Amino acid sequence: MRQFDQSFLEEQQNAQRATIFRIYNYYRVLISFLFLFLFLDPNLNDFVGKVDPGLFKITIVSYLIINVVLGIATLFTNVNFLSKPMTAIFVIIGDIIALTLLMSASGGVSSGLGSFLFFTLAFAGGMVYGRVSTVLPAIAFILTIYGEFYLFFLNENDIQSFFQAGLLGIVYFVTNILFQTLSRQLEKRQTEVFTLEQINQLAIGGLRTGVVVLTNHSEPRLMNQSAESFLSIPSQPGSGYKRVPDNLLRAVTRWRDDPSLGEVTFNVTATGKELVATFSELHTPSPEADTLIFLEDSTEVQKQAQQLKLASLGQLSVSIAHEIRNPLGAISHAAQLLGESKNLDKSDARLCEIIQKHSVRMNGVIENVLELSRRKPAEPQMIALAPWLSNFVTELETNWQEKPQITVLLNPDDTVISADPLHLSQVMGNLCQNGVRYSKNETGEPKLVIRGGREPQTRLPFLEIIDYGHGVDEELVSNLFEPFYTTETTGTGLGLYLSKELCAANNARLNYERADTGGSSFKITFTEP
């Protein structure tokens, strides 16, 4: 969006002045042909040139030639030259001289040609300000009076003509001053409107919220810098037509079909930012209303929601520690002591074993929840993926009794990310342990693939963990990252939830896709470091 610049307003005003100058010159050419036509027509030449046909003929021919030449020249002349007051002054003085000569050759003020000077002096009021502009009607009045004296000595008029010339002179001044005042007021209003427009553009351009105005034909009428960034549209000058992504157009179509939708969430690309779009109908003078779109990065909303969740979990953790953990420890201890009794039969011993097993499981759930509440804010660091992955895989292999087969694919090798190393290790460890376990269950071999690098479209760094398991059923994908949701009898349902929360704390996104291997693919997409 254009920055506030007073020179831009001056350029606009100069362009308007040049346009007015060209239009006025067309008017001069028109009246030149009109006067020449009246002079050459035998039935109408009594109106013009009746006192001095020779002077009228020389004047109108010269005036016509000059006007035609100037009219052609204005088409190729620089705008700044046409908008200069001195250019207008020379042209106006020439017009005043030519029109007063034509008026004198036609009988003076009684011919009615003096009324054509009204347009000339109105043009002078719009193009020239100050004392110089007021001098121009004075020149016209003096020449008009001089012409009346000339005709009076030739016995072509009477004393009453001087009275008419005086009234005409007053009208000259009034016309000039009126249009000079109106022109100043218009320029003042234009400056105010321009200033307000620039302030609005600067305000909209500086918003973190993306703002897009689409026509009824889905063409962008306005787009601020935040919207260009969200939609991955180049913002440099001269970038040409800005095309709105198809995902946003589909979201607009859904909203137009059902305005009750309110907000629509979409991604520009499969791995791009998740954006929240809100729509409003923008009424304009045209019969078809435009669509006003506000775009927000859901990451900010997720951060706020995450803070609220952490605060709630902190309060919940205190309750869990006091209300659940202590009784659970007592139950577990009592079951352990009961299990050591020699008077128990096998069925009772089995029940004690079940109590201890589920007590351990519940304690694990409590530990995970407490870990959420105790989690420190992320402390991102610049991490080179190549050496970090090498160390991570080595540590991962040493923690397994059966050494897993882990394939690392990194392109480019110098990929760097911004993340908290402890958080990244926890997320990658959880995802890789799940992947190795599911691969072994499905194929009998503990193996997985770790891919890394940069996305081809967004150029954002990513890490992807691919296993050879059975994958996640389509109907279960929507609940995959929900807390306490699990399809296993031994799981707590907090592993993936914790991983997604840790990614969000590092401004990263964790997404699931069905892998080409038939198993699962968990991709972490990081922001630009």
pLDDT, tens only, 161-172: 888 888 888 988
Model confidence at 77: pLDDT above 90: no
* Across 178-182, 226-230, 392-396, least confident range: 226-230
- The torsion angle over the Cα atoms of residues 254, 259, 260 and 263, rounded to 10 degrees, is 60
| Token output for 332 | 């577990």
Question: Whole-angstrom Cα distance, residue 503 to residue 464?
Answer: 13
Highest average pLDDT, of 40-44, 111-115, 506-510, comes from: 506-510
Contact status, residue 21 vs residue 127, Cβ threshold 8 Å = yes
pLDDT tens, position by position, 304-345: 666 666 666 666 666 666 677 778 788 888 888 887 777 778
Is 381-525 in CATH node 3.40.50.970?
Answer: no
DSSP 414: T
SS3 352: helix
Model confidence at 395: pLDDT above 80: yes
Name the amino acid, one letter, at 217. H
- The predicted pLDDT at position 239 comes to 47
The full DSSP string for 301-315 is HHHHHHHHHHHHHHH
220: preceding bond cis by omega (within 30 degrees): no
What value does the mean pLDDT take over residues 277-299? 74
Listed residue (442, 507, 446) closest to 469, CA to CA: 442
Contact status, residue 112 vs residue 148, Cβ threshold 8 Å = no
- The predicted pLDDT at position 462 comes to 93
Model confidence at 294: pLDDT above 60: yes
Contact status, residue 403 vs residue 440, Cβ threshold 8 Å = no
- The predicted pLDDT at position 2 comes to 44
pLDDT grade for 285, boundaries at 50, 70 and 90: low
- Residues 6+ away with beta carbon under 8 Å from 206: none
pLDDT grade for 448, boundaries at 50, 70 and 90: very high
Model confidence at 401: pLDDT above 80: no
What value does the mean pLDDT take over residues 28-54? 83
- The predicted pLDDT at position 3 comes to 44
Which CATH class name applies to 206-297? alpha beta
List b or e across 256-269, with b for residues whose CB sees 16 or more CB atoms inside 10 angstroms.
Answer: eeeeeeeebebebe
| Token output for 111 | 């011919």
Model confidence at 479: pLDDT above 60: yes
Highest average pLDDT, of 104-113, 201-210, 213-222, 351-360, comes from: 104-113
- The predicted pLDDT at position 236 comes to 44
Mean confidence (pLDDT) of the chain: 79
DSSP β-ladder status, 405-411 and 447-454 = parallel
- Residues 6+ away with beta carbon under 8 Å from 242: 220, 223, 228, 233
- Counting Cα atoms < 13 Å in the Cβ hemisphere of 529 gives 16
Name the amino acid, one letter, at 354. I
List b or e across 7-26, with b for residues whose CB sees 16 or more CB atoms inside 10 angstroms.
Answer: eebeeeebebbbebbbebbe
Question: Whole-angstrom Cα distance, residue 332 to residue 338?
Answer: 10
Question: Whole-angstrom Cα distance, residue 183 to residue 317?
Answer: 73
